[in-house]
Amino acid sequence: MISWFKYYSHFKLHAQTKIMSEGTGGKTVAELAALVGGRVLGDGAVLINRVAALADAGAGAIAFVEERRLLPDALGSRAACLLVPVGAREETSAAVAAIADVADGPVLIEVARPKLAFALIAELLHPPKRHAAGVHPTAVVAASAQIEADVYIGAHACIGERAQVGAGTQVHAGVIVGDDVRIGRECVLRPHVVLYDGVELGARVVLHAGCVVGADGFGYVRDEAGYHKFPQIGSVVIEDDVELGAHTCVDRGALGTTRIGRGTKLDNLVQVAHNVQIGARVVIAAQTGISGSTLIEDDAVIGGQVGFGDHARVEAGAVIGSKAGVLPGKIVRAGTVQWGVPVRPLAEYKRLNAHFGRLPQMRAELDELRRRVAELAALVETKAD
């Protein structure tokens, strides 16, 4: 560890505005194919310097095609290179295949998963921008804080007592890091992130603007006079390679720890309540609210605007569709796909949804049946008289 003021003494007034990019002048198609384990069909020496959507691709750009049926049209694009499924070219007609052989046609890279290959190439060609290391003159860094090498601390950021900031981390403008916080290597804290006291981040964690980690959980006990706050004295642990979207909030545990597992990704405006446990490689879309002590196991997928009651459990690999409602204590079984309010297996939800769509018709049919029954009843009474 080295003292923060060693950075300060070498900091230039405008260093915070200097942006560094790890980008290169581009890579050849052959180099990109080697990166993603693909096979080149065409000139492997073509230089690629950017990724692009298929409709916008031009010279120097690489795009991808996942569906084989779209390949004939894609081959006529202006992209320099296309990522295509393995065997896609052989499945096209001879006329279409000939398009790829003309001098100005796109070079092809066959890969098992074109979209994944595209993402890996994008990481190489478009690395995140980084500020030059240093501490802005307006930042406030406690004397007891430990700041490792190559850290950037932006304007008006505050680093609390005994806080630890790992090597290569970027702390942007207005970030608040509380006392005894531990931040791992190569993290990125976007503007106005707030880390309350005692929070722990692993390596390569990305927190987007306005994230709040470690605020008190929503816990109260009521008596005749009103509400009394239940202790919120736990902490939050966010493991390696987690990314949280803008204005997402993760509350500290009441008496234990709120935890987000390695590689998990949360969208904007997600609320994670106290003592929630989220496993590894989970993805959760925007505006989802997760009540206290809920457990979400590894590899689950949660859609947007899902509401969780407390102590719910989502087993490994389960998928929950958007706007679903998970009742308190509900268990969503491993590997299932579930939807609706209350949440239920997708096939059942679809059947019920089909019935809901027919309710007006069913109401009309029921009214007609009632009318006929009334007529029959009247006829029976008339004959009885």
pLDDT of residue 69: 84
pLDDT of residue 9: 39
pLDDT of residue 155: 98
Is residue 195 predicted with pLDDT exceeding 60?
A: yes
pLDDT of residue 129: 87
Closest Cα partner for 159 from 169, 149, 148, 171?
Answer: 171
Is residue 71 predicted with pLDDT exceeding 90?
A: no
Paired tokens of 291 = 């009540």
Q: Give 191's Cβ-side CA count (13 Å radius).
A: 5
Mean pLDDT score, 137-148: 97
Which residue reads 């994944």 in tokens? Answer: 116
Q: What is the DSSP string of 264-276?
A: -EE-TT-EE-TT-
CA distance 24 to 212: 35
pLDDT tens digits along 201-223: 999 999 999 999 999 999 999 99
- Beta pairing partners, 233: none
Mean pLDDT score, 157-178: 98
Is residue 15 predicted with pLDDT exceeding 50?
A: no
Give the H or E element holding residue 381. helix 359-384
More confident: 18 or 83:
83
- For residues 266 and 239, is the Cβ–Cβ distance under 8 A? no
Please list, in sequence order, all residues whose beta carbon lies within 8 angstroms of the beta carbon of residue 267, skipping any fewer than 6 positions away.
Answer: 245, 248, 284, 285, 286, 288, 304
pLDDT of residue 383: 80
Question: How much of the chain exceeds pLDDT 70, in percent?
Answer: 89
Position 91 confidence tier, pLDDT thresholds 50, 70, 90: low
Is residue 21 predicted with pLDDT exceeding 90?
A: no
Which residue reads 């998963």 in tokens? Answer: 113
- For residues 152 and 166, is the Cβ–Cβ distance under 8 A? no
Mean pLDDT score, 57-72: 90
Position 102 confidence tier, pLDDT thresholds 50, 70, 90: very low
Mean pLDDT score, 313-318: 98
Mean pLDDT score, 269-298: 98
pLDDT of residue 382: 83
pLDDT of residue 51: 96
pLDDT tens digits along 333-367: 999 999 999 999 999 988 888 888 888 898 999 99
Conformation bin of residue 261: beta by default, left when phi > 0, alpha when psi is -120 to 50: beta
Which residue is catalytic, options 131, 172, 208, 274?
Answer: 274
Altogether, the residues listed in the chain come to a count of 385
Note if 126 is an active site residue: no
Per the prediction, the chain carries an average pLDDT of 89
Alpha helices of 64-126 — where are they, by DSSP H?
Answer: 71-74, 88-91, 94-99, 114-125
Question: How much of the chain exceeds pLDDT 90, in percent?
Answer: 76
